[in-house]
Each structure stands twice: as structure tokens, then as C-alpha cells.
Amino acid sequence: MARLRCAFVLALLLTQLAGDAFAGRGHGHHGPAAHDYRDALAKSILFFEGQRSGKLPPSQRIHCTFAFAFALWRSLTECVRPWQVDLVGGYHDAGDNVKFGFPMAFSMTMLAWSVVEFGGLMKGELQHAREAVRWGADYLLKATAHPDTIYVQASSYFAFFVGDATKDHACWERPEDMDTPRTVYKVDPTTPGSDVAAETAAALAASSLVFRKSDPAYASRLLARAKRVFDFADRHRGAYSTGLAADVCPYYCSYSGYQDELLWGAAWLHRATKSPTYLTYIQTNGQVLGADESDNTFGWDNKHAGARILIAKSFLVQRVASLHEYKSHADAFVCSMVPGTPTDSTQFTPGGLLFKLSDSNMQYVTSSAFLLLTYAKYLAFSRQTVSCGGGGHVVTAQRLRAVARRQVDYLLGSNPMGMSYMVGYGARYPRRIHHRASSLPSVAAHPGRIGCSQGFTALYAGGANPNVLVGAVVGGPDVQDKFPDQRNDHEHSEPATYINAPLVGALAYLAHSYGQL
């Protein structure tokens, strides 16, 4: 069992990246903060520890200063024959017991991006954020490593999915009691998966930037693997849910195709390497891969908007003139997101929440808020603004920050329900989240095994979950700002790593800008 450590390390850290310094100067807000963003930041990172799979480290925490505590101890052995691939570790993406590689990789890309952009503002939480990135990156290294190194380098074996999702979802049981098949699915040259492979390359490349200064050897290893996995994704093109539809759909089908991930992966490799190889790739393939599409939905499946913002940085900050069109693409995304612009096309609830889809809508709220804050950073650094449509409608970095802050504030409780959608934050938050480990009694409270079907009693019970998963952000309210807080309502009550990952960066910025860090 992991030792419990109940302290946060408070350390003064220098800002890390060019441009981080500007985020801490002259951009504070007047008046009191609407929320305790520092507290929310700490909890949003702590959530990832509750989603860990495998043998937990001595640094595993419960948060003793909080009124609620949550921790899981999982010792799962996943060694897959005939390859003998070690797949212990990683994260459960949401409230089930499967490790889905596609959303896990996206979560790690976004968590790493949060640290890359705003880690210099996190102070005492930076080390916890790095540990969360490393836990996921370590797993992705395992998932892309075959014991036959010649085979790995030649065809880049990639295991992306651990567990039979259909059979897992037919059970409601604790991770410690899990007895469903730990089937491993893979993509390879005969069953390509450019989307999941390129997303993994993006996660590895982004993670390498997190450790470039603190652990150069580890960063080099991550980057080398990112290059190899991206090469595989590009050479063997195809969507992973084409050949494996029966196994990955409807859970994480690649609805947007694989083109956006190839552009996204190339963008991260360009940022991590500064190599002209990836710049040329973007210039040559950008249009074909959909760089100029107007889609403004950004999440685990569709990376177009994120890729446009990321590549626009190269033009705005690094002055790579050949990428000027991406500033226009990024501007179009921003204009579609800011209420009141001539090209505003985003739906909001009556209470002001960005609304994309009824199923786990909060993931789009957090990812969009992060993109707006990040683009505001790039704009401020380059002293530029955004022109939206005719009539001289100009959107400033300050305006983008205000839009993003409104979304985060809604999430934390400034909404018609008076409900914080982060578990453990505020006086009122979801008590019956759709999460197996949270809803079933802990091993300490109930040492006996809880069987597959036996656990469904807890799913449909009316009481609060016995284990409070601190920091978990659920799918959120419906289009009318209503939230029933029902455990069997997975669309609104299920948390996920890809909801929290971009929120970490947004909260770090807000906590710093209000002087809470």
C-alpha cells in the first residue's frame, strides 16, 4: 500500500518558457476573485491520482487539509502474451475500468500543454502536475514499446486499448475486483490507426517539453519515441475505428478521421524539435489535413482548433512567416467563440455556459477556455489583436481572458444551480457521480469482493457516493442549466481525465492572475 503523504510542497520556481513571464505582469484583475482558483487547481491535479492504474507510488496522496479524501490502491498485472508487453500503469479515462489509449493520450497532451504554457505560474503545484504527466507518459512509452526492438523500429507496434469495453461496461465493480478480460487491441501496418498513433506522438512530444529542463534524459527518450510513433502514423494511414469498429465503437470512435491528429502531431513535434522537417510537413500537408476547416469543436476526437492555435504560436511568437495563414485560422476559431462578434456561432445556455453536446459537455468548456487563454497569451506577447468580420470589431487578449474566466467560474459554481461541477470544491457539488470506484465501498470498508452484477445495486442507489473523488469534474448540466445529480446519468455525471487536463492550465493562469499563487 502506498504511504500517505499529506502536504503540498511550497517551492519558488522560476518561470520556464519564453512568454511565461508576460503572463505574470500587468494582467491582474481588479476586485476580488470569484473563486479560490488555487484550491481548485490543487484539486484538479489531485483527481489524476484517483484515476491511476497499477502499483501506486510512495508519493500517492490523500489531501488531509480537505474535508474529503479519496485514494485508490490498484495493483493490476497486465502482461500480454505472446509479446510480453508490460502495460501496467496509465489512467482510467473516466468512471469505468478500461484504459482507452486514444482519450488517455489526448489527456496527456493537454495536461502537458497546461504545464508548458502555465507551469511557471503553478509554484507548489508544479511538481504534482509533472508527476501526473509522467505517470501517463510512462504508460505511453510502454504502450509503444515491443520487446523485439527491430520489430518496433520497423513497424512500430502500438497497443492502445486494454480491456474488453463491452464486457467491462456490463459490470459495475471496483478496479480491485476487476475480473473482466484484459484484452489488448493494437494498431499495426495491417490495421492502421493514424489518429491514435499521432495523438500518442503529440502526447510524448508535449511531455518531452515538460521535462526538458528538469529531466533532460527522460525528455530525450520521450521525444525520440514521439518521432518514431509519428512516422508510423504517417506511413500507415487510416482511422483506428475502421478496422476495429466492433471493439472501439461507440465508446471512442474516430468520428473526425485521422487527418486532424496528423496535423496535431506534426505541430507538437515542430514545437518540441524546431526541426525544419516538421515545418515542411505542416506547410506541405496542412491544407490536405484540414487546417483551414472552420470546425470549432476541440476535444479528444477533433484536434483541428487546437492545431490551429498551436501552429499560430510559431507565427506570432517565433515569427515563422510561412505559417501566417494559421493566425487567420486561429482568429476564425476565436471569433466563433466570443459572444457578440459578427461571426459568433457558439451556443450558450441561459446561464452562460458554452454548450456543444449533451454528452460530457464540460470537456468542451474546459478545452475551449484553455485555448482562449493560451491564444490570449500569444496575442499579448506579440502585441496583436483579432479582427472579427467587418465593421472593425476587434477582440483583444483581455476579452479572451474574460470569456474563458466566465466559463471557469460557471464550472466552479457561478451558475443558476449554484452548483460546483468539481467534486469536493465549494459547498454544493455532485454527490452521485458515475464512477465505479467512487460509488462502491472501499476495500478498507468492505474487504470482501463485490461481484460484477452485485455492484449495480450501488449504481441505482439514491445515496451519495461513499468515496469522494476530489477534483473530478463531471459532464455538467444540460442545455437549460439543469443538473439532476443521478449516478446512472453518465452523460452529465461522469468525470473524465480529458475534462480536467485543460482545466489545470486555465486554473493556474487564473490563480496567478488573482494573486492566489
CATH number at residue 82: 1.50.10.10
* pTM score over 0.85: yes
Phi then psi for 395, rounded to 5 degrees?
-110, 125
Average pLDDT over the chain, rounded to an integer: 84
pLDDT, one tens digit per residue, over 191-214 is 889 999 999 999 999 999 999 999
Identify whether 10 is part of a domain: no
How many folded domains does the chain comprise? 1
Please choose, from the candidates 355, 351, 317, the residue with its C-alpha nearest in 3D space to the C-alpha of residue 337.
355
CA 164 to chain centre: 23
Strands 79-80 and 158-162 come out as unpaired
Tell me the average pLDDT across 67-88: 45
Please choose, from the candidates 204, 110, 136, the residue with its C-alpha nearest in 3D space to the C-alpha of residue 504.
110
User: Any bridge partners for residue 387, and if so which?
Assistant: 394
Identify whether 239 is part of a domain: yes
Give catalytic residue positions: 434
Identify whether 119 is part of a domain: yes
Q: What percent of the chain has pLDDT over 70?
A: 82
Q: Which of 158-172, 240-254, 313-327, 412-426 holds the top average pLDDT?
A: 412-426
Tell me the average pLDDT across 244-259: 80
- Give the separation between CA 181 and CA 106, rounded to whole angstroms: 25
Banded pLDDT at 305 (limits 50, 70, 90): very high
Tell me the average pLDDT across 438-444: 92
Identify whether 331 is part of a domain: yes
Which residues form the domain of 303?
20-513
pLDDT, one tens digit per residue, over 489-508 is 999 999 999 999 999 999 99
Q: Which of 19-23, 89-93, 153-157 holds the top average pLDDT?
A: 89-93
Identify whether 11 is part of a domain: no
Identify whether 288 is part of a domain: yes
Tell me the average pLDDT across 401-413: 98
Identify whether 71 is part of a domain: yes
- Give the separation between CA 232 and CA 152, rounded to whole angstroms: 10
- Give the separation between CA 477 and CA 348, rounded to whole angstroms: 12
Identify whether 15 is part of a domain: no
Tell me the average pLDDT across 354-369: 97
